[in-house]
Structure 1
Amino acid sequence: MINKEEFLKTCNLTEDDLTAARISWEELTEIYEDYMSKTKLFRHLGKEFVDEYIYDIERAGIHSYRYRTKNPMHLLEKIIRKRKENYAKFEHINKSNYHKYITDLIGIRVFFLYREDWIHFHKFITSMFENDPNNYIEDRLRDFDEDPEHCYIAERPKVYKRSGDTRIYDSTQIEVRTGGYYRSLHYIIKYHGYYLEIQGRTLFEEGWSEIDHDIVYPYYKDDEMLTEFSGLLNRLSGMADEMSSYFRKMKELREEEPDKKIKDLL
């Protein structure tokens, strides 16, 4: 059983946040208990997906991967936050349907050495799963396919990038969203009755994201000093990715014309 005071303190929330979200502690407790009863199933589905589609990293076009099920406190915090931000959309969420609203109960991350390698994974995952816009979610309840055997891409694949980043994404294949610090590919897959989220990013981007989520997001995103430091680290990771791409380009040029000096290749 989750302790209310501990939860509020850990998630940097107050009673006023529950009031603003118009959700009771009893409702949250019911969702928590149902989720805890299903975590073994979610772990099984995550492992099954990885074994079937991700384990062979060369086939998937990635450097490495990892997967997890959502932290139960993070689940409750997300429901509160979503209800505060858009009550009309999340008004009817409860213990019997939260899995239709929350698409990252199972999370998989795939990593690339170079940003440009995103296209290999994109082609792979869209060849493995049906990517029909008619299946994309608009209404979380109405559009949920109750057939557990129908596995498909449930939202248009998207990528978040910073303004000024190198233009490496094809907007005809993936939705490109610009602004903020965040960099990541996102795929929502309907998999045997539940959604799972795949995020794709470079190793440098993952390093920044892990530190940002550990310190800033979501509980201290209004802290000016912490967000400023996170922004600095984000810019450094972006520069590291740019340099990595240049390294590879120089290597390719050298292999094409091994007798020329580097200054003549640039």
Structure 2
Amino acid sequence: MTLDREHFFLKYKIDASSFEKTDLDWAELQKIFDDFIGKYEQLSQAARMAAEGIRTAPGVHSIRYRVKDPEHLIEKIIRKKIKDPSREINSETYFSEITDLIGIRALHLFKDDWFPIHQYILNTWELNEPPKTFIREGDIVPDIYRQHTNVEPHEFGYRSVHYLIKNKPYKDQLIMEVQVRTIFEEGWSEIDHTIRYPYDLDNQTFNSFLQIFNRLAGSADEMGTYINFLKNELDLKDKRHKDELEEKNNLIESLESTVSKISALSAKEKNTLLAEINTLKQKVNTSPTWSYSGTSVFSPLGITINPQQGISFDVQSTVSHPGLGKWIGGAQQLGTPGLPSSLTVRNESPVKYDVLKSILPQQALKK
């Protein structure tokens, strides 16, 4: 395929006078174009192999990859030469000078998913340069990104972690660009790229609205991270509760077995002890079930988890519950003197009836 210079300049909005200042030879650009087309299938296979490898990394939600369009390669070379005429780009050097001939994007759901992907990339390939984390000016950057990457504000608010990896699936060594970002970062980037790139980068109307959209995308990432943290915390508490129940049930079974084997007790005394153990078993196995409503998490016992106020429960609907002292942590009275309206869980130490009795009026306590 022969590139028509005038048609190419018109299609990609390249100023002819600016091109002339670059000293680029159109015949040399045609040679690069033909060489790249000849290697396109090999590049596609190399991109596919690398992408499938990254897909196996922990935390990866989905993978996208592409080989650069041949015309876009020529356009990029021209624009790079216009920006820096001293740069040497020809048919012998373009493979090393253009570092995104192959582009791979690894998408993940939560910010916390990034580090396992980062470790996979470092353990699999040699890097051409240290990884970079691009951020929006004003973003709060977790320390883990600063410890393992170079953090740089991006002029358009673009967020992503970039890697240039060395790969040599065939004769020529390739530099592949790998971008790792969240799904929200990807969504904003795709819309921004579609609207502005490459000819409306200075459109202030687009820029203003896209900056608002960028802030919303960042907030969505933070909310996703918080919800994931909350879920993990609740799952952990639920597991601890189940483990405690299992431990107590094992103890009860051991007591039942021991009582049954004590020959000195009469049948009536054994039955009385076993009945008391059975009552204890029913109390121990009373388990709260969490549900979600609005901005708080509720349980049937009146317990509320509020992101701003911590964990609390209504006294009158809770203290009468037979399993209260078995799983609710140390409590502290809130509000004005008299019948308190709520208690706040401070830790996971057992609450005994005597402790509640010391901080609550008698009319609030029911055994």
Query: What range describes the TM-score normalised by the shorter chain of this pair?
Result: 0.7 to 0.9
Partner Cα separation in structure 2 for residue 156 and residue 86 of structure 1: 23
8 Å CA contact 2:21–2:85 kept in 1: the answer is no
| CA positional deviation for 1:2 | 2.5
Larger RCO (CA under 8 A, 6+ residues apart) = 1
- Structure 1 residues 6, 207: CA separation in 2 closer, same or farther (over 3 Å shift)? farther
Match of 2:252 in 1: none
Deviation at 1:247, TM superposition (A): 1.4
1:100 pairs with 89, 96, 102, which one? 96
State the distance in 1 between where 2:22 and 2:207 align: 25
* Mean Cα deviation higher: 191-200 or 176-185: 176-185
- SS for the counterpart of 1:170 is helix
**Aligned CA distance change for structure 1 residues 201 and 20 (closer, same or farther; 3 Å):** farther
Instruction: Give the gaps of 5 or more residues in structure 2.
Output: 239-298, 312-367
Q: Could you tell me which residue of structure 2 aligns to residue 80 of structure 1? A: 78
Q: Partner of 2:177: helix, strand, or coil?
A: strand
Distance 1:155 1:240 in 2: 31
Whether the 8 Å CA contact 1:18–1:24 is kept in 2: the answer is: no
Counterpart Cα distance in 2 of 1:60 and 1:16: 50
Among candidates 190, 199, 212, match of residue 166 of structure 2: 190
Shift in CA distance, 25/265, structure 1 to aligned 2, threshold 3 Å: farther
1:178 to 133, 148, 153: 153
Alignment partner of 1:23 is 2:24: yes
Q: Is residue 139 of structure 2 the alignment partner of residue 156 of structure 1?
A: no
In 1, the alpha carbon distance for the partners of 2:140 and 2:60 equals: 20
Give the letter for the 1:232 counterpart.
Answer: I
The answer to whether the 8 A contact 1:253-1:265 is kept is: no
Task: Measure how far apart 1:243 and its partner are.
Answer: 1.4
Q: CA deviation at 1:124?
A: 1.3
Once the two structures are overlaid, the 10-residue window that deviates more, 5-14 or 103-112, is 5-14
C-alpha deviations, 1:74-119, integer Å up to 9, x for none?
Answer: 212221222122232x2x2101220010111011100010122211
After superposition, the Cα gap between the structure-2 partners of 1:93 and 1:231, relative to the gap in structure 1 and judged at 3 Å, is same
State the distance in 2 between where 1:114 and 1:162 align: 18
C-alpha distance after superposition, 1:109-141 (max 9, x if no partner)? 000101222111111111222xxxxxxxxxxxx
1:134-145 equivalences in 2 (<5 Å): none
Distance 2:237 2:122 in 1: 36
Decide whether the 8 Å contact of 2:61 with 2:108 is kept in 1: yes
Count of aligned pairs between the two proteins: 239
- Measured in 1, the distance between the counterparts of 2:127 and 2:154 equals 25
Measured in 1, the distance between the counterparts of 2:109 and 2:9 equals: 38
Report the alpha carbon displacement of residue 60 of structure 1 after superposing the two structures with TM: 4.1
Contact 2:54/2:120 (<8 A) preserved: no
2: CA distance, partners of 1:221 / 1:175: 25
TM-score by length of 2: 0.61
Which has the larger displacement, 183-192 or 70-79? 70-79
Q: Distance in 2 between matches of 1:5 and 1:229?
A: 35
Amino acid at match of 2:227: F
Summarize the Cα distance change of 1:127–1:244 in structure 2 as closer, same or farther, 3 Å threshold.
Answer: same
User: Does structure 2 conserve the Cα–Cα contact (< 8 Å) formed by 1:61 and 1:124?
Assistant: no
Q: Specify the SS of the correspondent of 2:147.
A: coil
Correspondences of 1:215-254 after superposition (within 5 Å): 215-254=195-234
Helix, strand or coil at the partner of 1:172: helix
Whether the 8 Å CA contact 1:63–1:110 is kept in 2: the answer is: yes
Separation in 2, partners of 1:69, 1:179 = 24
Asked whether the 8 Å contact 1:21–1:81 carries over to 2, the reply is no
Distance 2:305 2:5 in 1: 62
Q: TM-score, normalised by structure 1?
A: 0.82
With 112-121 and 79-88 compared, the bigger mean Cα shift is at 79-88
Distance 1:86 1:116, change over 3 A: farther
Identical amino acids, percent of aligned pairs: 36
Indicate conservation of the 8 Å contact 1:43/1:69, yes or no. yes
Amino acid in structure 2 at the alignment position of 1:85: K
Q: Please give the secondary structure, in 1, of the residue aligned with 2:141.
A: coil
Gaps of 5+ in 1: 130-151
Residues in 2 aligned to 1:60 and 1:95: alpha-carbon distance in whole angstroms:
39
Taking the aligned partners of 1:223 and 1:254, their CA distance within structure 2 comes to 46
CA distance in 1, matches of 2:122, 2:51: 16
Helix, strand or coil at the partner of 1:262:
strand
CA RMSD of aligned residues (A): 2.0
Q: Which structure has the greater CA radius of gyration? A: 2
